[in-house]
Amino acid sequence: MLRQILRTFREAPGPISLPLLAAQLDIEPSALDGMLLELVAMGRLTRTEGIEPVACAACGTEGNCPYLLSTDLVCYALA
Q: What is the pLDDT of residues 54-73, one digit of tens each?
A: 555 555 655 555 555 555 67
* Average pLDDT over all residues of the chain: 81
* Residue of 50, 10, 48, 8 lying closest to 25 (CA atoms): 8
Q: State how far the Cα of 67 lies from the Cα of 8, in Å rounded to an integer.
A: 19
DSSP state of 56: -
Residue 66: what are its φ and ψ, rounded to 5°? -70, -10
- Give me the number of domains the chain comprises: 1
pLDDT tier, 22 (very low <50, low <70, confident <90, very high otherwise): very high
| Reported pTM | 0.71
Supply the range of the domain harboring residue 13: 2-78
